Amino acid sequence: MNRAERVIAFLEERPDVWIEATRFESLGGRQAWRTAISEARQIVKGGGRDIVNRQRVKHLQTSNYTISEYMLVSAPPQDETRGHDLNEAQAGSLF
C-alpha cells in the first residue's frame, strides 16, 4: 500500500471528521504527507468524493498559530460546519 492509499484508508475509517494535518506525518511521511494527501485527493475525486481542507487560528496569550485540518467527504461540504472535530483523547488513540 502506497502513502496515498494509506491516507485514504485512514480517512475512510473516519468520514466527516476533521483531522489535524500533523496526524498524517506517520502515514504519508514526515516531509511527504502533503504530496500523499494531494495524490489521495486525486484518487478519491474519481469516485465522487473529496478530501477537503480547512484552516483555523488558535489564539494564545502571546501568539497565534494556524491549524490545518483535512476531512474525507462523500460530497463537497456546503460550509465548514459539516463534520466534527476529533478531540485530543480520540486523536491520541489513532496511532
Grid coordinates representing 70?
483535512
Q: What is the mean predicted confidence (pLDDT) over 79-87? A: 55
In the chain, the domains with their CATH numbers are 3-74 (3.30.110)
17-20: strand order across its sheet: 50-59, 64-73, 17-20, 84-85
pLDDT of res. 94: 46
Structural contact between residues 3 and 27, judged by C-beta atoms closer than 8 angstroms: yes
With a threshold of 0.75, does the pTM exceed it? no
Q: What is the pLDDT of residues 30-75, one digit of tens each?
A: 788 899 999 999 999 988 899 999 999 989 889 998 999 999 997 6
Cβ atoms within 10 A of the Cβ of 20, count?
Answer: 14
